[in-house]
Chain A
């Protein structure tokens, strides 16, 4: 929608941002010369889970938090379970419990990355950013590339079935409980997955090749597209390896220098803070030592590939090396490189699943441990979209009295806003605005695979407010509802 304002400026509103989870809104302010003055990515979906959780028994939380999001319930399930492990003093899981959880998590990573690539991202890559909107969608992919579309469906299904087998069911999974898991994986269940695992590996290689070839063949075009130098943050294992389920925090700057490393997740509040800005319901996290101006960072596949020293599965590690070679071993700061990085993780996830399926510990029966009770704990995991933080306090009556969640998309709030601004200024200034050009903005947002539905935490019916500012920051118009 393009609306002309009385002072000669124009406001462009893209609502909703298609093919991202939840609801987002972008406003772009043009001046009288059609130059982009300001852009903002607004989060308009309301979530209030932190208060929703308060007062509930702690053991219910790993199940409750799955309702945060229909796309990544497993990530919330596991992050909450990890926190509650510490509450019951059971953070040192049995081998069976940890491996079952890891299998669940890699299943989640696999299905989520496959869904994003085939359903949300591939239309842009296969048809072009400004292709006809009637074909630039998954239905168009299905019509022109049916084999690819079928692969996407079957990979997604495979990951979902792994989740179902380990979490108990797709919705309201109960697999992870404080101190462990409530079921193992039977030989019969395992054999079902082993039957198709090699096909999944082959298809993962194929998806990765598409993303890699696309990025390397279009590097000149993609290099400036929504790109900028940034810090990157991820969990890493003690030896620096990628570890999507557990680890310590590492942050690096745009050149790869360590800002902090091997930080115990329980101490995240000493290193990360959140800034509130009046125009957004979503906070803006930053690294405390650098302040809000320079301390913002990216999370997710790109940040993880940049931050880790190596990947402990052979094919994904070989691909990581190729990825890093493009930038001579320095962090890759291309926004569109997220897709390539995501597909390296897809391959890593299926390699991990294959290794786990062949591990007899999955059939073990020692499922739960407990120890000294605690009243405060943090659970952290690398969700498909990035670092996910669950922080709880529990009273002596076992009720949750405080919950603070920092979800992946919140970490990426500032980078997504910068990507929108960069693309808008590069592509929309001084030209006639078309749907294809507007899609360029959405392409930049989609690279982050944002899940906006769980990224804000106000309670109460959210008043939707649209503020219109001129180039000097004066409010020209305000519209609210709710």
Chain B
């Protein structure tokens, strides 16, 4: 019996101009570079109505977002469609997107939230914190594994038991970038230090 390959949609969302709030788009950019088979990558500032239509065209959707207070380095959990009334702006919560996909397009898409722990959100800057970058790398390695193996529910359950047990060993220099990444900090040529563009008072 031929099995259709699982179609996965990863949506990384957040504002890259607000430091670690850009973790979701940063993950999306890096996953896209991996070119994982069967994985479609989208990136936006926030979730909105049309995401429901895109979700409905996939078997699995992973909403990747920065998490201000979640597990370190990241959490991964299944979500159910929900008529969330808490969406208060033009943007929607992942559960509401899933619900719209179900209601409007008859979708039965499995939904997951990948929450990458971030630490700085209240200032302006196009950089990620050092710990945020480390968490991003861990989340990327995890997403690569889970997408290649395809057992999302099992992974989510395993993460629930203890995320660190699922993390691969981190090779030396695993955060090094071969090509400039618009979401990572600009390097000050004189000091080599990451430049934080704006700071608060």
- Chain B nearest CB from A87 CB (Å) reads 21
In the complex, per-residue mask of B72-97: 1 if CB is within 8 Å of any chain A CB, else 0:
00000000000111011111000010
- Chain A nearest CB from B68 CB (Å) reads 15
- A70–B198 CB distance below 8 A: no
Cross-interface CB contact of A20 among B16, B83, B89, B122, cutoff 8 Å:
B89
- Tell me the bound Cα distance from A70 to B14 in angstroms: 9
- Tell me the bound Cα distance from A137 to B16 in angstroms: 29
Chain B residues in 8 Å Cβ range of A306? none
- B182–A459 CB distance below 8 A: no
Interface residues of A in 153-181 (CB under 8 A from B): 153-154, 156-157, 160, 169-172
- B48–A48 CB distance below 8 A: no
- A154–B83 CB distance below 8 A: no
Chain B residues in 8 Å Cβ range of A139? 83-85, 96, 99-100, 103
Cross-interface CB contact of A115 among B52, B85, B90, cutoff 8 Å:
B90
> Does residue A142 face the partner (Cβ distance < 8 Å to B)?
yes
- Tell me the bound Cα distance from A317 to B88 in angstroms: 34
- A157–B50 CB distance below 8 A: yes
- Tell me the bound Cα distance from A157 to B51 in angstroms: 8
B39-47, B110-118, B146-154, B167-175 - the one binding chain A: B39-47
> Does residue A19 face the partner (Cβ distance < 8 Å to B)?
yes
- A153 and B200 in contact, given A70-B15, A139-B83, A139-B99 (Cβ under 8 angstroms): no
Nearest residue, chain B, Cβ from A55: B197
Interface residues on B, range: 35 or more
- Chain B nearest CB from A199 CB (Å) reads 14
Interface residues of A in 45-78 (CB under 8 A from B): 48-49, 51-52, 64, 67, 70-71, 73
- Chain B nearest CB from A80 CB (Å) reads 14
- Tell me the bound Cα distance from A21 to B42 in angstroms: 22
Nearest residue, chain B, Cβ from A17: B88
Chain A residues in 8 Å Cβ range of B103? 139, 142-143, 146, 149
- Tell me the bound Cα distance from A19 to B27 in angstroms: 28
Chain B residues in 8 Å Cβ range of A154? 50, 53
> Does residue A474 face the partner (Cβ distance < 8 Å to B)?
no
- B85–A133 CB distance below 8 A: yes
- A70–B85 CB distance below 8 A: no
- B200–A70 CB distance below 8 A: no
In the complex, per-residue mask of A142-153: 1 if CB is within 8 Å of any chain B CB, else 0:
110010011011
In the complex, per-residue mask of B44-77: 1 if CB is within 8 Å of any chain A CB, else 0:
1110111011000000000000000000000000
- Chain B nearest CB from A163 CB (Å) reads 11
- B89–A21 CB distance below 8 A: yes
Chain A residues in 8 Å Cβ range of B52? 153
Nearest residue, chain B, Cβ from A65: B17
> Does residue A118 face the partner (Cβ distance < 8 Å to B)?
yes
- Tell me the bound Cα distance from A134 to B85 in angstroms: 7
- Tell me the bound Cα distance from A119 to B105 in angstroms: 17
- Tell me the bound Cα distance from A73 to B85 in angstroms: 26
Chain A residues in 8 Å Cβ range of B83? 139
Cross-interface CB contact of A119 among B46, B49, B85, cutoff 8 Å:
B49
> Does residue B201 face the partner (Cβ distance < 8 Å to A)?
yes
> Does residue A396 face the partner (Cβ distance < 8 Å to B)?
no
- A137–B25 CB distance below 8 A: no
Chain B residues in 8 Å Cβ range of A461? 122, 200-201
- Chain B nearest CB from A18 CB (Å) reads 5
Nearest residue, chain A, Cβ from B197: A52
- Chain B nearest CB from A177 CB (Å) reads 16
- Tell me the bound Cα distance from A61 to B201 in angstroms: 23
> Does residue A120 face the partner (Cβ distance < 8 Å to B)?
yes
Nearest residue, chain A, Cβ from B103: A142
Chain B residues in 8 Å Cβ range of A20? 89
- A70 and B46 in contact, given A52-B124, A153-B52, A461-B122 (Cβ under 8 angstroms): yes
- A170 and B43 in contact, given A139-B96, A157-B50 (Cβ under 8 angstroms): yes
- A156–B49 CB distance below 8 A: yes
> Does residue B104 face the partner (Cβ distance < 8 Å to A)?
yes
> Does residue A22 face the partner (Cβ distance < 8 Å to B)?
yes
Chain B residues in 8 Å Cβ range of A459? 198, 200-201
- B91–A70 CB distance below 8 A: yes
- A22 and B198 in contact, given A139-B100, A152-B49, A153-B53 (Cβ under 8 angstroms): no
> Does residue A460 face the partner (Cβ distance < 8 Å to B)?
yes
Nearest residue, chain A, Cβ from B17: A67
Nearest residue, chain B, Cβ from A68: B17
Q: Which of B96, B103, B124 has most A Cβ within 10 Å? A: B124
In the complex, per-residue mask of A113-142: 1 if CB is within 8 Å of any chain B CB, else 0:
001101110000000000001100111001
- A160–B50 CB distance below 8 A: yes
- A48 and B198 in contact, given A71-B90, A115-B48 (Cβ under 8 angstroms): yes
Chain A residues in 8 Å Cβ range of B100? 138-139, 142, 149, 153
- A73–B45 CB distance below 8 A: yes
Chain A interface (Cβ < 8 Å from any Cβ of B)? 16, 18-22, 48-49, 51-52, 64, 67, 70-71, 73, 115-116, 118-120, 133-134, 137-139, 142-143, 146, 149-150, 152-154, 156-157, 160, 169-172, 453, 459-461
List 20 additional A-B contacts (Cβ < 8 Å) besides A138-B100, A142-B100, A149-B103.
Answer: A16-B88, A18-B88, A19-B90, A20-B89, A21-B90, A51-B198, A52-B197, A64-B17, A67-B15, A67-B18, A71-B90, A116-B90, A119-B90, A133-B85, A149-B104, A157-B53, A171-B44, A172-B16, A172-B182, A453-B89
The 7 closest A-B pairs by CB, nearest first: A67-B17, A70-B45, A460-B201, A157-B50, A52-B124, A70-B46, A139-B83
Could you list 16 A-B pairs, sorted by A, with CB under 8 Å?
Answer: A21-B90, A52-B198, A64-B17, A67-B16, A67-B18, A70-B44, A70-B46, A73-B45, A119-B49, A119-B90, A134-B85, A138-B100, A139-B85, A139-B99, A171-B16, A460-B200
Chain B interface (Cβ < 8 Å from any Cβ of A)? 15-18, 25, 42-46, 48-50, 52-53, 83-85, 87-91, 96, 99-100, 103-105, 122, 124, 182, 197-198, 200-201
